Amino acid sequence: MKVGVLGSGEVGRALGAGFLKHGHDTMLGTRDPRKKEVQDWVRRNAGAQAGTFDETARFGEMVVLAVLGRIAASVIELARPENLAGKTVIDATNPLADDPPASGVLQYTTGPNESLGEWIQAKLPLAHVVKAFNSVGNALMVNPRFEEGTPTMFLCGNDDDAKDQVAGIIRQFGWEPYDCGSIVSSRAIEPLCMLWCLPGFLRGDWHHAFKMLTH
């Protein structure tokens, strides 16, 4: 599959490397494909490509939005919503504010009855947005190892076929998918980033993940 990853920061590079590891043709999208860290990433990852946001959105059969939440609007504009029509878009963003954590709790730009995932789906009405990969640090996104077993990756979205497609990627990346329903469930999934980061900010513990236990 051709995968376009919008965002060349740590999350975008980690997910992009994961797609390449599992045999997907992958392009990393950025404002300037010639910048050093992007070219270094391309050289380190066999078969990797880099392009503008527009080129990457057109390239991908599946597209990943892996940028800071506060720049998601400008990236979507540069990628052009029409390039994403009919495609599955994995939304790995969180609505992080510029403010530092308060007692270890991240500050968000959204209120309790709204989410960035819903906003992104509204901006991309012809795409199938699936919230996923937002509740763990980039170092653990691809095939992490935990003695307790396979961790859970929560996802949500309005299109069942798109969610099935993303669930397949989640399993490839060493996680157990857990479907939380429609994109409205982003209101519950996005704050998991706050909870995941809390042990890191309070105790320097960044190696952990969530696990859903069911009968």
Residue 66: predicted pLDDT: 98
Q: What is the pLDDT of residues 48-97, one digit of tens each?
A: 999 999 999 999 999 999 999 999 999 999 999 999 999 999 999 999 99
Residue type, 105: V
What's the gap between Cα 111 and its chain centre?
21
Q: Does domain 2-203 have CATH number 3.40.50.720?
A: yes
Residue 136: predicted pLDDT: 98
Which residue from 114, 56, 50 is spatially nearest to 84, judged by alpha carbons?
A: 56
Q: What is the pLDDT of residues 138-165, one digit of tens each?
A: 999 999 999 999 999 999 999 999 999 9
pTM recorded for the entire structure: 0.97
CA–CA distance, 187 with 122 (Å, rounded to integer): 15
CA dihedral defined by 117, 132, 66, 102, rounded to 10 degrees? Answer: 70
Read off the pLDDT band of 193 (50, 70, 90): very high
Helix (H/G/I), strand (E/B), else coil: 124: coil
In which element (H, E) is residue 118 found? helix 116-123
